Amino acid sequence: MPNHDSPPLSPRASAPAPAVPLVHAVTTDEIVARPDFVDVACGVMGALGPRGALHLRASRAAGGRLQELGDVLAAAQLVTGAWLVINDRVDVALTVRAKGAQLTSRSLTAADARRAAPTLAIGASVHRVPDGVEAARGGADWLVAGRVFDHAARPDEEGVGMPFVEALVAAVRVPVIAIGGVRSSHCRALRLAGVYGVAVIRGIWDAPNAERAASDYLSCYDDAGAA
């Protein structure tokens, strides 16, 4: 049985924490339902440290279940320095004392979320440049943009490609985080395009070792910047 009371005690040693995390590990309902999810999630947060974030996204989960998971991961947030970000539910983010909330098309607007939770870090998921501009003006601290690349797991969904993120980066002054089929091999092109960071689902959670995969994304992004 997973030990839900003991998050890892070895945060990643790294450069000083940026204002917004660089690597965002995003969950799904299926990932959250895995029997070892909490242990793996705490390990991922330990690997990412203060330069990473875990986005608790489970759109079919009841508020009580999100709060239960959030309470455990908020303890790991304190130990590892990695951000806990609650997807969609600003109320749950406030209740569990997460670092931030990620807004979607069904959430509050960035402006409303900022009024409701002035101390909470706010991210917004966007698929069009005008939506990103509006969210940034409303007070979003970062934008998650995508889906950028095609992915074999979703052959019916075509990626929007680099032109979208390049246009978004040019239109806003907040960090842009690319999501959607992002592999470590994409990091150099994304950084050249001005993208601030990456959000990853299967590249981390479906890897043989999720903790190592999370660390590898950080390293690849660092290497891309150095290059």
**How many CA atoms lie less than 13 Å away from 15 in the CB half-sphere?**
9
Distance CA 80, CA 56 (A): 16
Q: pLDDT in tens for each of the 227 residues of the chain? A: 344 444 443 444 445 667 899 999 999 999 999 999 999 999 999 999 999 999 999 999 999 999 999 999 999 999 999 999 999 999 999 999 999 999 998 899 999 999 999 999 999 999 999 999 999 999 999 999 988 986 544 545 555 778 999 999 999 999 999 999 999 889 999 999 999 999 999 999 999 999 999 999 999 988 877 65
3-class DSSP state for residue 76? helix
Identify the CATH class of 23-226.
alpha beta
Q: How far is it, in rounded angstroms, from Cα 93 to Cα 31?
A: 19
The token pair that represents 130 in the structure block: 């005008």
pLDDT of residue 13: 41
Nearest residue to 31 via CA among 177, 206, 226: 206
Provide the pLDDT for residue 7: 41
d(CA 96, CA 48): 20
Cβ proximity of 132 and 126 under 8 Å: yes
- The contacts of residue 226 (CB under 8 Å, 6+ apart) are none
Could you tell me how many residues make up the chain?
A: 227
- Whether the link from the prior residue into 147 is cis, omega within 30° of 0, is yes
Where does the chain show beta strands of DSSP type E? 23-26, 52-56, 83-87, 100-103, 121-126, 142-145, 176-179, 197-200
Domain range annotation of the chain: 23-226
Which tokens hold the place of 70?
């959030």
CA angle 194, 52, 37 (to 5 degrees): 130
Q: What is the pLDDT of residue 161?
A: 78
DSSP assignment letter at 5: T
What is the phi-psi region of residue 140: left when phi exceeds 0, alpha when psi lies from -120 to 50, beta otherwise?
A: beta
